[in-house]
């Protein structure tokens, strides 16, 4: 076992990273050793990144222990850059996290100063002055390059700043100069945010944290009003909404709600979250309350304003969409389904149900091919055909009687067979052919049975299955 | 004074019309007036609700049901055993087809919502789209919800009933769950009446149980007729239109009802079939003996009713 990370106290005692745990114990017998758990560290860092959403929507993860926040245009909301850094650090301190933060004009410079320097806000013109005394390791270079640079005496970044570029590239590779330019702000370094940036959002920060569900809903309604205004201005309607709740202790909850039609009605948006909150009720632990609420529109579509007519026939798509939204919010998007037909010989493939994500599927008429739908199909079908024991007079004829679910049925009439071959282009060859029979038993129940395999050609012991029931 | 009252009523009815056009809830004034003035408004309403009956086209059944299927309220359809679920599902689907056709004729969308408890559709099979289509249902307007628990199914049904869009809502429940007792069925019934939506409670493999439904029908399988040939004769040994044996267990009529029907998917309507043919084809074995004589003036749950004063709760 080797040490991978140390706290301040351990560093002061003189322990090093990479040291064996036994050796460290010998140096400091009261040492607390905690097993490294990279997955948990990662989850914690992501939790922090979520929490940083309160400052800017553009948050990117950096390695195992850093976060990049793109605060372009956000700083003034928090009282300036210095105030922003102080706010971040003091809040993190209260959460029990030791952190360093630097604001500068490039990600590379912030990275370097946060780890090796000592400044909070760096103006663009000061970049080279601050960078010069830092060690070359601050340039995010591989360890070999750093060792190589140090061996030739280039120990500080200042030594590189004014050195000729061509020999440096030839000797140490292009990465060195790229990193150098990125730190100086000469080369662009795009950050990739963890989460897509919402097109519209509205936010409230509260002095008094909220705990009650009704209060959250009420606030969500207010936020929907704000979002509605910007949606209306752009002529759009939201399809996917997200309510972000930041708890006092820094835990972040995201609740998404899907709408079946583009929405820009505040009440309808708020109603989506009423159902969602009901559904996630137990998972949403309010603890000491939520202090930041943000409603964002993650996906939106064009929504042309519609005019009500006076024909007296109300528009039926809206109530239907509201119903679909309520159901999806409560039971998930797969709950409400609509019937689909497919061109297939196999009965179980010919008809099915697909989740209704867009009400237009029901409103608009889908052209259904008449040929796709043969006559004499049962009203209900078993997802998995059930094995029955049947006795037939002749091996490839209709059954005389059969046992289904431990009951014997005597066949009064039978129609068939209807031969359905396997779909070799999907299943491959060698799948048995089916012979379907419509059967009526002596009490008038009508069933759909099939025999799997052609007698004599494909199998010598064909099996019988119950596949559906007729009206 | 009288003139003033007439004017007031005109204004109120105009407001109601506007509210309907704008698809809003009734303004408070009109609602208050409706509550306060039962004589005027109620009468109109009842006249309206009398129209809300869908004749099934089979005179004996329509007589027992008081004109036909009520289009606002709950009707319970049950079958005794799971293996009869096909027949009952066929009858329910036929009713849904009729409701849907009526709604479509009025220019509405007329979607049908089928809510099924997960257990029910696992036991008796899922609705099958090609089969429903050849049965006469417009499957482009068919929505299906499969829900694990009865409680959630009830919630979905209630939500659906408050949306005045559906041509029919089918709630398929297996057995007699405790959470669908008299009070819950009352609640559903009231919702269905308020929403003006027919709710078909399809109780699969369930016992007879007191409920708030207008009617309770038990569906048993019946032998189908034979397939007609173009020249008018019948194709021997073939299976024709689906047939049902309908027992009316709860109704307002004081008469036994034991009706045989068949559903013609092409005409999209029921036809009566002669009982003699049906009972002969019903497959009763020759030596079966009725334990009690059929009672008159009782619904057809008959032989048990004599010794029962009230139903024990089945759930």
pLDDT at B274 over 80: no
Domain tally for chain B?
Answer: 1
Q: Does A374 touch chain B (CB under 8 A)?
A: yes
Choose among B140, B146, B281: nearest Cβ to A368.
B140
Over range B275-284, report the average pLDDT: 47
Determine the 3-state secondary structure of A317 from DSSP. Answer: helix
Residue range(s) in chain A whose domain bears CATH number 3.40.1170:
1-35
List of chain B residues whose C-beta atoms are within 8 Å of the C-beta of residue A412: 223, 283
Residue predicted with more confidence, A65 or B294: A65
Q: For residue B187, what pLDDT is reported? A: 92
| Mean pLDDT of all residues in B81-109 | 91
Band (pLDDT 50/70/90 cuts) for residue A437 is very high
Domain boundaries for CATH 3.30.1490.100 within chain A:
200-308
Residue A383 touches partner B, C-beta closer than 8 Å: yes
Structural domain span for residue B171: 54-283+293-302
B254 phi and psi angles, rounded to 5 deg: -100, 65
Q: Given pLDDT bands bounded at 50, 70 and 90, which one contains residue B237?
A: confident
pLDDT of B203 reads 93
pLDDT computed for residue A343 by the predictor: 84
pLDDT of residue A281: 75
- Write the pLDDT tens digit of every residue in B131-181: 999 999 988 889 999 999 999 999 999 999 988 889 999 999 999 999 998
Model ipTM value: 0.75
Indicate whether B23 belongs to any domain.
no
What local confidence, expressed as pLDDT, does residue B46 receive? 47
Query: Average pLDDT, stretch A74-92?
Result: 88
Rounded to an integer, what distance in angstroms lies between the CA atom of residue B221 and that of residue B243? 7
Phi-psi region of B132 (alpha: psi -120 to 50; beta: other; left: phi over 0): alpha
Contacts of B245 in chain A (CB under 8 A): 444
Per this entry, what is the length of chain B? 315
Q: What gap in Å lies between CA B157 and CA B165, rounded to an integer?
A: 13
Q: Does the pLDDT at position B48 exceed 90?
A: no
Contact partners, residue A102, CB within 8 Å, separation at least 6: A85, A109, A110, A113, A114, A117, A119, A120, A121, A122
Q: At what angle do helices A174-184 and A165-172 cross, to 10 degrees?
A: 130
pLDDT surpassing 90 at residue A282: no
pLDDT tier at A127, thresholds 50, 70, 90: confident
Residues in chain A closer than 8 A to B90 (CB atoms): 379, 470-471
- The verdict on a CB contact (< 8 Å) between A379 and B89 is yes
Residue B5 lies in a domain: no
| Percent of the residues in chain A that have a pLDDT greater than 90, as a whole number | 15
Decide if A391 touches B, using CB distance below 8 A.
Answer: no
Q: For position B110, what pLDDT does the model report? A: 87
CA distance A367 to chain B (A): 9
**Is the pLDDT higher at B98 or at A79?**
B98
pLDDT higher at A12 or A366: A12
Indicate the average pLDDT of chain A. 86
CATH of domain A1-35: 3.40.1170
Class of domain A200-308: alpha beta
Q: Is residue B37 part of a domain?
A: no
Q: Which residue has the higher pLDDT, A181 or B42?
A: A181
pLDDT, position B145: 94
Contact B239 A438 (CB under 8 A): yes
From the CA of A340, how many Å to the nearest CA of chain B? 7
Is B26 part of any domain? no
pLDDT class of A78 with cuts at 50, 70, 90? confident
A325-353 tens-digit pLDDT: 888 888 888 889 998 888 888 888 888 89
A397: contact with B, CB 8 A cutoff: no
For A224-252, write each residue's pLDDT tens digit: 998 888 888 888 888 889 998 888 888 88
């Amino acid at each position: 076992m080797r040490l991978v990370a140390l706290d301040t106290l351990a560093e002061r005692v003189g322990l090093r990273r990479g040291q064996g745990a036994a050796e460290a114990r010998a140096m400091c017998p009261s040492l607390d050793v905690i097993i490294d758990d990279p997955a948990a560290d990662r989850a914690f860092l992501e939790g922090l990144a979520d929490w940083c959403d309160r400052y800017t929507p553009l948050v990117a993860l950096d390695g195992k222990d850093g976060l990049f926040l793109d605060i372009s245009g956000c700083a003034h909301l928090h009282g300036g850059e210095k105030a922003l850094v102080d706010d971040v650090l003091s809040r993190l301190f209260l959460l029990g996290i030791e952190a360093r933060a630097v604001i500068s004009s490039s990600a590379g410079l912030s990275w370097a100063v946060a780890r090796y320097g000592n400044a909070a806000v760096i103006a663009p013109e000061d970049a080279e002055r601050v960078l010069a005394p830092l060690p070359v390791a601050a340039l995010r270079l591989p360890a070999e390059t750093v060792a190589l640079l140090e061996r030739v005496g280039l120990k500080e970044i200042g030594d590189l700043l004014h050195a000729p570029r061509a020999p440096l590239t030839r000797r140490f590779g292009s990465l060195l100069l790229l990193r150098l330019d990125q730190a100086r702000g000469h080369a662009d370094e795009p950050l990739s945010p963890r989460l897509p940036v919402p097109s519209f959002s509205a936010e409230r920060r509260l002095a008094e944290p909220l705990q009650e569900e009704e209060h959250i809903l009420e606030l969500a309604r207010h936020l929907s009003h704000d979002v509605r205004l910007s949606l209306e201005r752009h002529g759009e309607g939201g399809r996917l909404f997200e309510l972000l709740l930041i708890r006092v202790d820094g835990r972040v909850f995201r609740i998404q709600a899907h709408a079946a039609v583009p929405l820009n009605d505040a009440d309808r948006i708020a109603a989506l979250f009423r159902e969602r909150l009901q559904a996630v009720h137990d998972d949403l632990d309010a603890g000491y309350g939520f202090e930041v609420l943000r409603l964002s529109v993650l996906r939106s579509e064009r929504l042309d304003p519609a005019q009500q007519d006076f024909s007296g026939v109300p528009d039926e798509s809206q109530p239907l969409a509201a119903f679909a939204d309520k159901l999806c919010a409560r039971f998930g998007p797969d709950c409400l389904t609509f019937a689909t037909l497919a061109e297939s010989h196999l009965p179980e493939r010919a008809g099915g149900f697909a989740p209704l994500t867009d009400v237009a599927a029901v409103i608009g008429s889908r052209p259904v091919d008449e040929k796709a739908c043969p006559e004499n199909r049962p009203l209900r079908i078993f997802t998995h055909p059930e094995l029955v024991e049947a006795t037939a007079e002749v091996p490839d004829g209709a059954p005389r009687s059969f046992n289904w679910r431990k009951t014997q049925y005597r066949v009064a009439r039978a129609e068939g067979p209807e031969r359905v071959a396997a779909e070799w282009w999907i299943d491959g060859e060698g799948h048995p052919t089916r012979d379907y029979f419509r059967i009526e038993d002596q009490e008038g129940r009508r069933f759909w049975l099939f025999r799997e395999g052609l007698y004599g050609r494909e199998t010598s012991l064909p099996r019988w299955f119950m596949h559906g029931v007729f009206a | 004074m009288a003139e003033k009252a007439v004017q007031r009523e005109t204004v109120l009815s105009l407001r109601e019309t506007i509210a309907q056009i704008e698809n809003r809830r009734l303004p408070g004034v009109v609602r208050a007036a409706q509550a306060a003035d039962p004589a005027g408004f109620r009468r109109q309403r009842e006249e309206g609700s009398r129209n809300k009956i869908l004749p099934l086209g089979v005179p004996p059944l329509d007589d027992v049901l008081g004109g036909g299927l009520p289009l606002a309220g709950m009707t319970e359809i049950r079958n005794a055993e799971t293996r009869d679920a096909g027949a009952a599902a066929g009858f329910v689907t036929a009713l849904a087809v009729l409701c849907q056709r009526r709604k479509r004729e009025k220019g509405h969308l007329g979607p049908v919502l089928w809510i099924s408890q997960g257990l029910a559709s696992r036991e008796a099979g899922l609705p099958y789209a090609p089969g429903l289509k050849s049965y006469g249902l417009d499957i482009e307007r068919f929505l299906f919800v499969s829900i694990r628990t009865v409680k959630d199914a009830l919630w979905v049904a209630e939500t659906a009933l408050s949306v005045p869009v559906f041509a029919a809502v089918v709630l398929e429940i297996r057995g007699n769950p405790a959470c669908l007792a008299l009070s819950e069925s009352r609640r559903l019934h009231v919702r269905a009446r308020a929403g003006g939506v027919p709710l078909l409670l399809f109780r699969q493999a369930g016992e007879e149980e007191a409920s708030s439904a207008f009617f309770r029908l038990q569906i048993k399988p019946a032998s189908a007729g034979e397939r007609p040939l173009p020249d008018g004769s019948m194709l021997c040994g073939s299976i024709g239109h689906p047939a049902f044996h309908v027992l009316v267990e709860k109704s307002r009529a004081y008469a036994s009802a034991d009706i045989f029907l068949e559903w013609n998917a092409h005409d999209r309507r029921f036809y009566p079939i002669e009982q003699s043919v049906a009972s002969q084809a019903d497959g009763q074995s020759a030596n079966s003996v009725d334990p009690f004589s059929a009672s008159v003036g009782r619904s057809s749950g008959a032989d048990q009713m004599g010794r029962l004063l009230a139903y024990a709760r089945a759930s």
